[in-house]
Structure formats: structure tokens, C-alpha cells
Structure 1
Amino acid sequence: MITKERKRPLKIQKLEALLRRLPSHHPKYEMIKEALAKSIAGFRGEQSLDYYLSFLPSNEFLILHDIRFPYDENSYFQLDTLILSTRFLVILEVKNIAGTLYFDQAFQQLIRILDGKEEGFLDPLLQIKRQHMQLETWLAQRKNLPLPPIESFIVISHPSTIIKSSPNHKEAFEKVIRPPMIPLTIEHLKRFHTKEILPMKPLKRLATLIQKQHTPSNPDLLHQFQIDKSELLRGVICPTCMRRPLVRKRGSWYCPYCESSSKDAHVSSLQDYFLLIGPTISNQQLRDFLQISSATIAKKLLVSLDLKQSGVTKGRTYELETLLNHK
């Protein structure tokens, strides 16, 4: 049973918003475009597991996707997929990397060869060891919970990737799998771990606790890419031709380029503001970002969205987070 669904990462939404709001000639544009492509590829790789995870009996397993929770006061650890059962736990770390992958035991590195180019990565086997240790430590701190055995695997999700390793690299042979191997791997673990450690009721409480402590990653992309908010393009973007700025006419947004009109084109622009600049906005900030001059029109737009407000008169601000679910 899936107890925490896999959702489109906030980072992807932020990268898409940043590309919309930067001129294509901006010096960081291609770098951001590449970062978005990598993030989307990673997410698609994680999604490719879902079909094979569906074969696991829902009455035996609880599945949590994309979880991130505190390890200590200053750090978090993140797991792509965590499978809970009464007898054992399983960490799945997904790598959607194309090309030929070589797990080098001697130097504890992953070498990727693609289009004749050789590139080195940190060894994912070290990563799952660290995740194993972090999860074990986190569970040990919950004194009322027995400590079930933890198994961890690297799942190479790209279908055409060729996997190689150093001779006699036992760990790579045991820990690196393909998505179709997930049900068979879990079945093998069931035969190996026969003792019930954590009955289903406390197991469900553990799943609930993990979800409560989950803290989504919320990167500040302007800081990360060293972009000032003054560099962002202002104005409402046309949902039809993606050009800007739209003009406000008789209660609608009019596009002077493709001549289409929209009642709520401003919503996506306010979503961009939330993703890139901040969670709240004032009347003046809205006028500046949407490029409209009328405070009255700005207030009508804000009030129509039924946003939570704080402050009074000129100091009033509106919370934008609920707009992310706006259709």
C-alpha cells in the first residue's frame, strides 16, 4: 500500500518558473535548462519503479516515496523510496543514468561512458551505506520501536544503460538491480527475513511518523544560481503563445501578439512569484510583478483568489501557497 505518493518535485516547478522568467540570452539560462533536464530525468526514473512496486502485496508492505526528514539538528537525509514490512525495511535509491556504468571497487567510484566521454561520479554504493546508517540511527532514537533489519539497493532505471563492475565486486552484484528485479528481490528478502519484528499496527504508526517529519526540499534558486530578482521578466505570460506582457482589458487579459484572451492568466504569474521570490505578496508587489498600474485592479485580483491575509491597509500581505493547487 502506498502511504506517501510520489509527487512532482518542487525543484522542477521552480526551475520551470525560472526559465519562464529569464531572457533566453541570460548567461545562466543554459545552465538552468540543463539542471531542469537532469531533474526531470531523475523524477521519470523514480516513476519507472511504480509499475513493479504495484506487484507487492498491499496488505504486507507500506511504500513511501520521496521522503526527507531530520537526521540531526543541522541536516536532513532523503530517500527516493522506502518500503516498510513487518520483517524488514528496504531503501531504494534510483539512478536514471544513460550510457555504460562501471562500478569501480578499487577507487569506490562510478564511471559513466557516454558518446565516447568518460565521467566520474561518487559511488552510489557509498550513498546507500550512508542512508542505511542514517535511517538506522533515526530509528534507534525512537526507543519504543524495535529495530528491524534494513536492506538497501541501487536501482538503475534507464532501460538502455549497460552495467559493469570490477571483477569480484560482490557488493555491486548484490546491491545494483533493475526495476523489473524489484518484486523478485523483495520475495527473496521475505524468504531470508522470516521473523516478524514490527507488527502491522506499530508499522503503520512508524509510516505516519515518517510522513509527519517529512520536510520537502525548498531550494532558493535565485540564491543558488546567483540571480537577482530584478533580472526576472515581469508581466503576465500568455497561456496560448507564452509571450508577454498581456494587457488588462475589461476584466480579462488580452494578448497583443496572438490576440487571445484569458480571465485567469495572472494566476500562473503569481505562482511564478511564489516559486521564485516569496510566499507572500503585497498590492504594490503584485502591481510591479504583473506590470499593472491600478491598485484597485490589483486588490480585486487578490481578493478574487480568496487568499489568506495578514496586516492592514498598506502593510497587508497575501499568502500565495494555495495557488500551487490552482487548476
Structure 2
Amino acid sequence: MFHYLRIPDEYGYFQLDVFLLTRLYGVIIEVKNIYGTISFDDMGQMIRTANEIEEGFHNPLEQIAVQEYRLRKWLKQKRYSTNDRTLREKVIHEAQLLSKLEKIANKYEKTSLNTRQWNKLTEKLIEAHTEQKNDILNKYGIHREQLLKGVFCYACKLPSMVRIHGGWKCTQCGEMSPDAHMAAFKGYYLLHGNMVRNREAREFFSVTSPDIVKQLLQKGSFEKLGNGSATKYVMNADDWVKS
């Protein structure tokens, strides 16, 4: 399952909130958090009724149709075939999602991809994903090379923490911390986006050991995408980045 895939194509970029890819099928899931009663008028506009007030929204079904078209075209360019099946009852409540996916799975008896093909397509999607550039550095005219690298000490506010015996110790003031790396992950997220590779985290933390950084990424309970050198970890802002 992929979250917030952003893929370049000839029209620019298209983004998928959630893309569930199995060896049997692929499903695009667009998430909308809207209260009230939802309906669609004859013109295809989505209407939300709440407290006896009607409000119009862009039709998410049209958005899904565009995403599907662009994804199919991208897959074709990568030499993957797709069928023309589309879903009925495309708008459902979140409580119905699991049962809906089970119904979809029951419709497919023959796998479309073998394990090798599935792994290869997964890697291609991860490689194609392009983070939307954060404007903070550009806004203030700061280059990546100018950023202070390292894990910062809570006490003396210097990037002088080193990894010792499963924790962190400041080489300047001697302060100890079990989780100083989490603030560094937050900083990376805010500056560079929600996906990070082991190599990128090592550079940002000023840590040379890939094994130590791998352990920190795993302890962070970040979602892992891909394998080997293509591995990326997804940091979820809703879990630990304060607004």
C-alpha cells in the first residue's frame, strides 16, 4: 500500500492519496473527510448538506477518473498491461472499505503479476515518486549545504549529540537523551519531506553507520517501502510532527 504517491508524467505530476497494489489488482483510494450528507446533482457536482445548508464541492469521482487515466498511461509506458475494469459504488464510508476490498479480491481468481513482476513494479513506483519541494529553504535563500548537520542537544542547543550505548550523549555539555534522534527526524520532515532513505538520514544526522540509522528508522515505526538501495521510509506527520 502506497500513501501520497506523486508521479511525474507528460502533464506534470499526479498524486494518489492511497494506492493499493496486489498481485491480483490495483485500487486507487481517494480519502475525503467531510461531515454531513453527501449527494451528487445532475451536473455531477458533489453537494454536502449540513445544518440545512448546502455547499458544493468539486466532484472527487472526476478527480479519480483523471488519476486512473494518468496511472494507466504511466503503466503502459512502463510496459505493464491493464484491464478496463472499473468499480461500481465508488463512494463508500470508511467503515465499508475492508468489506469492499474483500469483494474486489473475490472477483479475481488469476494473478495479473507474479512475485518478481510485483516487486519490480513496486520498485518502479517508489523510484518514480517525487516529493513536492518544500519552499522553506528557497523562501529564505538557504542551500542544503548551509544546514547544520547532526542531532541537536536539548540542553545546549548544539548539533553535538553522539550515539552511545543505545542513547545519545552531548559532547559539549554531557546531556543524555534516549530519543534525541526523533527531533532530527522531525527537522528532516519539515525541510525535505516525508520520505527518507538511510543514506539521507545518515548525512542529516552526521552518523556514518548505516546499521545505526537503520535501527533508528525501524524504531521510529515508519512505513518501509521497497528493498535494498531503493528502500525509503515514510514519516507520518499526523503521528509525531506538531503543527
Cross-structure match for 2:109 = 194
How high is the TM-score relative to the length of structure 1?
A: 0.42
Q: Which amino acid is 1:113 matched to?
A: T
- Asked if the contact 1:88/1:148 (under 8 Å) is kept, the reply is no
Identify if the C-alpha distance between structure 1 residues 208 and 115 changes in structure 2 by more than 3 Å, giving closer, same or farther.
same
Letter in 1 for 2:73: T
Return the alpha-carbon distance in structure 1 between the equivalents of residues 189 and 30 of structure 2.
Answer: 30
| Partner amino acid, structure 2, of 1:200 | T
Structure 2 counterpart of 1:66 = 4
Specify which of 26, 29, 39 is matched with residue 102 of structure 1: 39
| Residues 1:94 and 1:75: Cα distance change in structure 2 (over 3 Å) | same
Distance 2:45 2:64 in 1: 13
Between the aligned partners of 1:85 and 1:135, the Cα distance in structure 2 is 15
Quick one: which amino acid aligns to residue 93 of structure 1? E
User: CA, structure 1 residues 306+191, in 2 after alignment: closer, same or farther (shift >3 Å)?
Assistant: closer
Runs of 4+ in 1 over 4 A off after TM superposition: 148-152, 271-276
Q: How far apart, in 2, do the equivalents of 1:175 and 1:274 lie?
A: 33
Q: Which runs of 5+ in 1 are unaligned?
A: 1-62, 153-170, 230-250, 254-262, 280-304, 309-323
Query: Which residue of 58, 63, 66 corresponds with 1:127?
Result: 63
CA RMSD of aligned residues (A): 3.8
Match of 1:137 in 2: 73
AA in 2 matched with 1:204:
N
**Secondary structure at the counterpart of residue 185 of structure 1:** helix
User: Which of 58, 81, 103 is residue 146 of structure 1 equivalent to?
Assistant: 81
What is the deviation of 1:307? 9.0
Instruction: Give yes or no for contact 1:136–1:147 (8 Å, CA) kept in 2.
Output: yes
Higher relative contact order (CA 8 A, sep 6+): 1
> What is residue 172 of structure 2 aligned with on the other side?
none
Post-superposition offset of 1:94: 0.6
Distance of aligned partners of 1:103 and 1:221 in 2 relative to their CA distance in 1, 3 Å threshold: farther
Distance 1:150 1:220, change over 3 A: farther
SS at match of 2:112: coil
CA contact 1:148–1:197 (8 Å) conserved in 2: no
> Distance in 2 between the 1:274 and 1:202 partners?
31
Shift of 1:191: 2.9
How far did residue 221 of structure 1 move? 6.8
Match of 1:83 among 5, 8, 20: 20
With over 3 angstroms needed to count, the CA separation of the structure-2 counterparts of 1:201 and 1:148, relative to structure 1, is farther
In structure 2, the partner of 1:211 is 126
For residue 130 of structure 1, what is the amino acid of its counterpart?
Answer: V
Q: Deviations over 1:149-168 (max 9, x none)?
A: 5646xxxxxxxxxxxxxxxx
Structure number with greater Rg is 1
Amino acid at match of 2:18: T
CA shift digits 1:10-67 (9 cap, x unpaired): xxxxxxxxxxxxxxxxxxxxxxxxxxxxxxxxxxxxxxxxxxxxxxxxxxxxx22221
Q: State the identity as a percent.
A: 32
Distance 2:34 2:94 in 1: 13
TM-score w.r.t. the length of structure 2 is 0.55
In the alignment, the residues of structure 1 paired with residue 137 and residue 52 of structure 2 have an alpha-carbon distance, to the nearest angstrom, of 34
Whole-Å separation in 1 of the counterparts to 2:110 and 2:95: 26
Compute the displacement of 1:86 (Å): 2.3
Alpha-carbon separation, structure 2, partners of 1:111 and 1:78: 24
| Alpha carbons 1:82, 1:90 under 8 Å: kept | yes
Match of 1:252 in 2: 156
Aligned CA distance change for structure 1 residues 108 and 93 (closer, same or farther; 3 Å): same
Contact 1:83 / 1:90 at 8 angstroms: preserved in 2?
yes
Q: How does 1:1-327 map to 2 (within 5 A)?
A: 63-72=1-10, 74-104=11-41, 106-143=42-79, 145-148=80-83, 151=86, 174-220=89-135, 252=156, 275=190, 306=206
CA contact (8 A) 1:89 1:149 kept: no
Structure 1 SS opposite 2:29 = strand
Note the C-alpha offset of 1:142: 1.4
Structure 2 unpaired stretches of 5+: 141-154, 158-174, 194-204, 209-234, 236-240
